[in-house]
């Protein structure tokens, strides 16, 4: 299970270093094979290869075929299969780099079965305490939880 946020840099070649604490788990679970793609949020989603395939299969089972086709065109059509190199880094392909302008700094968030990669300023806005934060909007939902 992937958890936690890590601030990291995307260098000029578009490379990003996977935090060391995940590398061993990823080497075992998917032999370091990752898929980078888009989802509904303005960030990139990073899946272990087998998880990506599972979600793709789940899309095929959706009842609304028109929606399924559109979702799949994004999820599969924008996906990039890649591998963690010997330095523990992955290369973001040029077209995905353009999304949400990764100009140097990003935040990698563990999201249970995948990672989300946010541009740092967008992440600050969404998860910070400013006016764009999602925190106020989820307070009541939070309170339905037994915690």
Partner DNA sequence: GGACGACTCCCCACAATCGCCCACTTCTTA
Partner DNA sequence: TAAGAAGTGGGCGATTGTGGGGAGTCGTCC
- Chain positions contacting a copy of itself, by CB under 8 A: 1, 3-7, 35, 38-40, 42, 45, 47, 51, 55-56, 58-59, 62, 64, 67-68, 70-81, 93-95, 99-100, 107, 109-114, 116, 127, 129, 134-135, 137-147
Whole-number Å distance between alpha carbons of 125 and 100: 13
Distance from C-alpha of 26 to C-alpha of 114, rounded to nearest angstrom = 11
CA–CA dist 138, 143 (Å, integer): 9
Should residue 94 be labelled a site residue for DNA when binding is judged by CB under 7 A? yes
Pick from 3, 87, 112, 144: which binds DNA (CB under 7 A)? 87
Residue from the set 1, 3, 12, 112 that interacts with DNA by CB under 7 A = 12
Tell me the residue ranges of DSSP E strands in 50-100: 80-83, 89-91
Size of the site for DNA (CB under 7 A): 21
39 counts as binding DNA under rule CB under 7 A: no
Give 8 or 122: the residue with its C-beta nearer to DNA.
Answer: 8
9 binds DNA (CB under 7 A): yes
Cα atoms in the 13 Å half-sphere on the side-chain side of 96: 28
Which residues, listed in sequence order, are joined to residue 111 by a DSSP beta bridge? 114
């Amino acid at each position: 299970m992937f958890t936690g946020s890590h601030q990291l840099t995307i260098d000029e070649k578009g490379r990003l270093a996977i935090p060391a604490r995940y590398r061993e788990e990823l080497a075992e679970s998917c032999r370091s094979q990752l898929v980078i793609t888009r989802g509904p949020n303005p960030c990139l989603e990073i899946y272990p290869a087998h998880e990506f395939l599972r979600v793709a299969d789940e899309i095929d089972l959706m009842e609304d075929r028109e929606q399924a086709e559109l979702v799949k065109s994004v999820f599969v059509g924008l996906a990039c299969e890649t591998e963690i190199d010997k330095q523990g880094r992955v290369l973001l392909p040029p077209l995905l780099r353009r999304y949400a302008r990764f100009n140097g700094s990003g935040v990698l968030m563990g999201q249970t079965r995948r990672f989300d990669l946010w541009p740092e300023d967008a992440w600050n806005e969404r998860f910070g305490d400013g006016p764009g934060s999602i925190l106020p909007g989820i307070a009541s939902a939070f309170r339905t939880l037994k915690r």
